[in-house]
């Protein structure tokens, strides 16, 4: 199919969509369009790779000799490592630049997928570690690259467009990975995604000179604790940080465990993957809408409402059983898509609003690092609660309670600190 100009085919059309989002057309800057094209493409591929194990847990886990529900620990290990690299991303950006960081993430993601192929417990864990180290810089690096070219009054919309890559990658994982597995086996599917990662790393190389013009290779000192200190000092950032931890726990627990929960409730693997993809597709469709609303009424209020929706969805998910009709499961997935898969860009926009303009890199790294800590805690909590009780219901109830707390704080006005 013919596309307009650009190295990524249809992806550069994101820039044209952005241009139509405002009458003052602030997106005429070609660098912004290139940043969006590169970061969205890379995020889609890395997110798709990160969901290979959760989507195919019922096949990969037995081959590795572990129970399927322990896939929650795989996801937890990913996000533990991602949190660490999120906090050091500001240093990496200054030293190497955003494009080089994205290329490094793609290469490491390919290596993580290759580590799955022996289907051994040790390589299974190694895959999670390497993938987590690659996943961590993805959001803070892309956020800073985009923020340099975006008016503050429109950040929620632009970040929301960029963040559609997350549910888009998840939707591809839910649809494409089971089909590829049926055709060439799960090892063949993992190998194919690894090849795509390496190809994309080569494709974005020509843009490095334009987008990485402000690197400082002489920077060596790393202040790992600066983003954390910002969270502790700023009351506004603390509230966003609490929400990021809690909402990240809900979002990534759903991604990691929902297909497995549905399979245990009697659904087929492909049907379970498609049900999860519904949530992700809703997230793709609705993110920019939420971002537009947040730019007009304030990100803080929208975050609070989303937390309430997540809580409602988690409590409802505790009731899933074999008697549930497919339509009810799809509606529940759509509710998660409308909330758990739309909140992150708005949270980042609110964090940057609370931060000093000179410290947006640190603020972004702090919020995203805390999100990954929630992503670490959520799946681990889910797997632990399920293992101890023999049922997923208590785990969903815990997640529902967790998302209520930050919503209370967010719905109360707070001045910028």
pLDDT digits (tens, 9 = 90+) for 70-116: 777 787 788 788 888 888 888 788 778 888 899 999 999 999 999 98
pLDDT digits (tens, 9 = 90+) for 316-353: 999 988 888 888 999 999 999 999 988 988 998 888 88
pLDDT at residue 191 in the model: 93
pLDDT at residue 220 in the model: 52
pLDDT of 228 over the 80 cut: no
pLDDT digits (tens, 9 = 90+) for 251-277: 988 887 888 888 888 888 778 888 888
pLDDT at residue 69 in the model: 67
Question: Are 319 and 416 spatial neighbours (Cβ–Cβ below 8 Å)?
Answer: no
pLDDT of 250 over the 90 cut: yes
Percent of the chain whose predicted confidence (pLDDT) is above 70? 88
Q: Where are the domains of the chain?
A: 29-210+225-410
Domain 29-210+225-410, architecture per CATH: Up-down Bundle (1.20)
pLDDT of 12 over the 60 cut: no
Q: Which has more confidence, 412 or 47? A: 47
Mean pLDDT of the chain: 81
Percent of the chain whose predicted confidence (pLDDT) is above 90? 23
Q: What is the 3-state secondary structure (H, E, C) of the chain?
A: CCCCCCCCCCCCHHHHHHHCCCCCCCCCCHHHHHHHHHHHHHHHHHHHHHCHHHHCHHHHHHHHCCCHHHHHHHHHHHHHHHHHHHHHHHHHHHHHCHHHHHHHHHHHHHHHHHHHCCCCHHHHHHHHHHHHHHHCCHHHHHHHHHHCCCCHHHHHHHHHHHHCHHHHHHHHHHHHHHHHHHHHHHHHHHHHHHHHHHHHHHHCHHHHHHHCCCCCCCCCCCCCCHHHHHHHHCHHHHHHHHHHHHHHHHHHHHHHHHHHHHHHCCCCHHHHHHHHHHHHHHHHHHHHHHHHHHHHHCHHHHHHHHHHHHHHHHHHHCCCCCCCCHHHHHHHHHHHHHHCCCHHHHHHHHHHHHCCHHHHHHHHHHHHHHHHHHHHHHHHHHHHHHHHHCCCHHHHHHHHHHHHHHHHHHCCCCCCC
pLDDT at residue 272 in the model: 84
pLDDT at residue 167 in the model: 73
pLDDT digits (tens, 9 = 90+) for 38-51: 888 999 999 988 88
pLDDT at residue 274 in the model: 83
Residues 279-308, mean pLDDT to the nearest whole number: 88
pTM: 0.72
pLDDT digits (tens, 9 = 90+) for 185-197: 889 999 999 999 9
pLDDT digits (tens, 9 = 90+) for 344-400: 889 988 888 887 777 777 888 888 888 888 877 888 888 889 889 988 899 999 999
Alpha helices, DSSP H, located in 218-268: 226-233, 235-264
Residues 212-227, mean pLDDT to the nearest whole number: 63
pLDDT digits (tens, 9 = 90+) for 129-184: 999 999 988 888 888 888 877 777 778 888 888 877 877 887 788 888 888 888 99
Q: Which has more confidence, 381 or 417? A: 381
């Amino acid at each position: 199919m013919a596309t307009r100009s650009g190295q990524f085919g249809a992806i550069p059309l994101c820039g044209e969509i952005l241009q139509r989002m405002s009458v003052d057309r602030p997106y005429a800057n070609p660098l912004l369009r290139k940043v969006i094209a590169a970061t969205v493409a890379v995020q889609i591929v890395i997110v798709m790779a990160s969901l290979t194990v959760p989507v195919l847990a019922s096949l990969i886990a037995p081959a590795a000799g572990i129970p399927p529900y322990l896939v929650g620990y795989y996801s937890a290990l990913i996000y533990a490592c991602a949190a660490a690299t999120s906090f050091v991303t500001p240093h990496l950006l200054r030293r190497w630049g955003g494009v080089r960081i994205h290329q490094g993430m793609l290469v490491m993601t390919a290596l993580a997928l290759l580590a799955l192929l022996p289907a051994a417990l040790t390589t299974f864990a190694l895959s999670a570690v390497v993938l987590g180290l690659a996943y961590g810089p993805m959001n803070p690096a892309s956020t800073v690259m985009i923020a340099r070219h975006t008016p503050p009054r429109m950040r929620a919309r632009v970040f929301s467009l960029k963040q559609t890559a997350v549910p888009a990658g998840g939707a591809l994982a839910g649809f494409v990975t089971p089909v590829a597995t049926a055709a060439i086996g799960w090892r063949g599917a993992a190998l194919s995604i690894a090849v795509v990662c390496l190809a994309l790393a080569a494709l974005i190389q020509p843009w490095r000179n334009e987008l990485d013009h402000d690197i400082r290779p002489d920077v060596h000192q790393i202040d790992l604790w600066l983003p954390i200190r910002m969270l502790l000092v700023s009351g506004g950032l603390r509230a966003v940080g609490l929400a990021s931890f809690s909402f990240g726990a809900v979002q990534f627990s759903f991604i990691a465990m929902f297909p497995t929960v549905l399979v245990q409730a009697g659904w087929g693997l492909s049907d379970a993957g498609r049900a999860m993809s519904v949530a992700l597709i809703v997230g793709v469709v609705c993110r920019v809408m939420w971002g537009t609303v947040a730019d007009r009424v304030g990100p803080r209020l929208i975050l609070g409402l989303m937390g309430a929706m997540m809580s409602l969805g988690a409590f409802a998910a505790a009731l899933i059983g074999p008697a549930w009709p497919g339509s009810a499961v799809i509606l529940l997935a759509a509710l998660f898509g409308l909330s758990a898969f739309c909140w992150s860009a708005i949270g980042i926009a609110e964090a940057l609003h609370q931060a000093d303009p000179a410290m947006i890199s640190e603020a972004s790294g702090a919020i995203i690092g805390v999100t990954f800590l929630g992503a670490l805690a959520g799946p681990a909590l889910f797997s632990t609660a399920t293992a101890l009780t023999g049922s997923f219901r208590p785990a969903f109830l815990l997640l529902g309670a967790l998302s209520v707390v930050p919503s209370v704080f967010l719905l109360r006005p707070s001045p910028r600190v």
